[in-house]
Chain A
Amino acid sequence: MKAAAYRVSPFPHWRAADNAVKIFWSRNAALVPLLLVYAAFFHLEALRLLAVTLLSAFVCETAAAKIFKRKARFQSGFHIHTALLFALLLPPSTPSIAAAAGVCVAILLGSEIFGGAGAALFVPAILGHAFLQLAYPDIFLRGGVLSIHSAFGVWTTAGALFLSAAILGVRRAFYWQASLFYFGVLLLLEKLLVLDHEISLRRLFFAALFLLTDPIHLPLTPRARLLFAMIAAAATHFLRAYSSVSAPEIFALLSVGLLTPWLDQWIVPAGAAKTKEMTKI
């Protein structure tokens, strides 16, 4: 009798259901409430901007696949996430060409040149946004979805942000402790060192939820993540207080993201730390 051959591979023989693609799509799903608010308040302008960023992301992904000789996987959700985040950070009146340029910088320079998802040095949307802030500062004279000033708009956006946070939490698609630390430390600093200019809580909450917790620039260990969040909060506060940049959280996260490799080296899990000490001896 011929014995049936079964697949043989090393342990473990089962895996958690969650995967990287699901994580990115969960983050995309968490952006939906904000996208709806965006579309409801800015109508066609918002839809145009979303179409431009998504199309640009698709073109960039295809071009990167050709350049780096690999298969394009737009459906992975990673670059869609970049495009959606990017659109939400922009005022709806942003010219299409500027938005497309920002997405190209974000995806090609911010991600693909380093090897794509997981290998990038910066969060692509943050890099793209910083680029536009420097290259086209006039665009940002008008506010976006996070800067709607009417009372109804404020409450709607705030509600959408809380819904986003709930989705991220339920899907375990963000490291909530880091968000909490960032937002908490920032509010504490603002309270202690009272500033005369207005604080945009919604922008900061958005940054805490989506920009800070992007795994690309978060350190690996829980302790390092909390330290990262506190440094990012301090940097945001510093830029708000002592600079004239219109998006301090963006530049704070961009610069603090550069600390991640060092934080990963210095703050290691307890077992690894003991081994490192033993090696030194």
Chain B
Amino acid sequence: MIRGIRLEGKKEATLLVWTLKRFDPPSKVRLFLKQSENSFAVPCVAAGDKVKAGEKIADPSNANSVAVHASLSGTITAVETFQHPVLGRAEAIEIESDKQDHKIPGLGAERRGWEQLAAEDLRNLYQESGLVELTLEMTPLHLKTEKSVKKLVLNACEPEPYLTSEHALMMSHPVEILKGVEILRRSLGAEEIVIITQDNKVEVAELLKSKIYFLKWKHVEVRVIPSVYPAGTSSMLQRVLNAEMPSFEIFNVATAFAVYEAIVLQKPLIERAMTVGGECLIEPKNVWARLGTDFEMLTKYAKNFLRQPGKVVLNGPMAGQAIESLQGSLIPGIQGLLALAEETVQEGQTESCIRSGRCIEVCPVEISPVMISLAAEQNLFEMAADYGAALCIACGNCTYICPSKRPMADLIRYAAKGPQKKTPPVRRKKKVLSPS
């Protein structure tokens, strides 16, 4: 049994309809060339060039990177550095829309003989189609599918509150997702597919099971696990399945769908399904968003702010990243843009630890967050290491549950890094309790 917290899902607002709304293309997009720390693409267009949606605008720089494609038709207006939502400032290609939304020929048409493509051909197509894993790590898919494994795991859990785009995607395109997973299985040489979902998505599990039954696939198994956080995160699944499976690779639903589109429909990675949600937006919803769309435009898809948000968060309130402004633009790894109300994100006043032990009860990797954080406050790194600082998977459960509102996850991260010149994240300022 995985230890964790049954979080309030807050998924209802975006699940009123299981459709992903598609809007007119934005007036401009900024497509980043840097894909991760070690991979980037090299532009093959220059300012002033005219491009169509789906056209390649940057080649992979080496075997570790993927191509980049124009997500709308228009004119290249700049190839320069812009604000990247994760990596600080990074080089990007800016395209201004011509309002025509012309697409390259063949985009959307079924590729002939896609069922017969060999694993090597599939990997080449992944690289050419700009496919990366649609998580913040954005690992190029051709690299992730290099090593053959016994099982492929499709993570259909979506454990973060508010996020429902994968739920909507599964309900509206179940067969496409299954075909995408099957393509991934072939490129990995895996024998079986295990689809893991949570008990708050029973309808998804039932729908997938019925499609699998009628597809007559005997090599696919659907498992339903309890919806405790962080049971459905990839890092936690990795830990749990390690004990059970000899070799496996985990992919998420959005990646499987992108694979289907790239291989079957010849559509490179130019858009993704995402949740634009949070209680501060007028109409939170799941949308198809073109890559490179700026965050301000994304909030307009949800009819803008109902009121000023306390925080704007990318990818969920538990392990997501807060952003300072709406100046960034969408990259493939962003699944959600959440405008959260001040009362939702209130952190409360940090107090002394009252030894409630709740952090230990909810820690999924069974370390001692309280002892590690107390040691970190005193710069006792060896002691922190003894209590398992290095095992932390940064799920945020300890900080969430702490009644003293201590920045446990921060302190554990500080402790895990080991001795350095920096001071601990927060030192105890007050030794008394407050009625906050």
Contacts and interface: CB of A to CB of B under 8 A. Distances in A.
Interface in A66-92: 68, 70-73, 75-78
Q: How large is the interface on A (under 10, 10 to 19, 20 to 34, 35 or more residues)?
A: 35 or more
Nearest to B356: A215
Contact of A12 (B317, B367, B385, B425): B317
A238 interface: no
A186 B431 CA distance: 36
A171 to B, nearest CB: 12
B385 A275 contact: yes
Interface string B309-333: 1111100011111111111000000
Interface stretch (A35-43, A47-55, A162-170, A218-226): A218-226
A5 B325 contact: yes
A151 to B, nearest CB: 39
Interface string A244-281: 00000000000000000000100011111011100100
Interface string B408-436: 01100100000000000100001111111
Contacts, number: 198
Contacts of A149: none
B212 interface: no
B366 A272 contact: yes
Given A5-B325, A272-B386, A272-B387, A18 B403 contact: yes
A76 B317 contact: no
A59 B406 CA distance: 29
Contacts of B325: 3-6
Question: Interface centre among A5, A13, A78, by most B CB within 10 Å?
Answer: A13
Nearest to B397: A12
Interface in A15-35: 15-16, 18-24
B203 interface: no
Contacts of A70: 430-432
Given A4-B325, A19-B403, A75-B435, A270 B366 contact: yes
Contacts of A75: 435
Contact of A13 (B320, B390, B430): B320
Contact of B433 (A11, A117, A270, A276): A117
Given A20-B433, A76-B432, A218-B357, A269 B366 contact: yes
Nearest to A270: B366
Interface in B322-378: 322-327, 340, 344-348, 351-357, 360-361, 363, 365-368, 370-371
A275 B387 contact: yes
Given A78-B433, A269-B367, A272-B386, A13 B322 contact: yes
Contacts of B403: 16, 18-20, 22-23
Question: Interface centre among A14, A70, A118, A276, by most B CB within 10 Å?
Answer: A14
B308 interface: yes
B407 interface: yes
B387 A8 contact: no
Given A10-B410, A14-B340, A272 B367 contact: yes
B241 interface: no
A116 B432 CA distance: 7
Given A77-B433, A220-B355, A118 B404 contact: yes
Nearest to B161: A14
B400 interface: yes
Contacts of B201: none
B401 interface: yes
A19 B436 contact: yes
A16 B221 CA distance: 35
B118 interface: no
A44 interface: no
B396 A11 contact: yes
Question: Interface centre among A23, A73, A119, A269, by most B CB within 10 Å?
Answer: A269
B355 A215 contact: yes
Given A73-B434, A221-B360, A269-B368, A6 B354 contact: no
A272 B365 CA distance: 9
Nearest to A77: B433
Interface string A194-223: 000000000000000000000110111110
A175 interface: yes
Interface string A123-165: 0000000000000000000000000000000000000000000
A271 B391 contact: yes
A191 interface: no
B150 interface: no
Contacts of A216: 354-355
Given A11-B320, A13-B345, A275-B390, A73 B396 contact: no
A73 B346 CA distance: 21
Contact of A9 (B322, B363, B371): B322
Interface of A: 3-16, 18-24, 65, 68, 70-73, 75-78, 115-119, 175, 215-216, 218-222, 225, 264, 268-272, 274-276, 279
6 contacts: A4-B325, A13-B311, A22-B403, A118-B351, A271-B391, A275-B386
Give 4 nearest A-B pairs by CB, closest first.
A76-B433, A12-B396, A3-B325, A271-B366
Given A6-B309, A10-B410, 19 more contacts: A4-B308, A4-B326, A6-B322, A11-B318, A11-B396, A12-B319, A13-B320, A14-B161, A15-B400, A20-B354, A20-B403, A21-B435, A23-B403, A68-B431, A115-B431, A118-B351, A119-B352, A216-B354, A279-B385
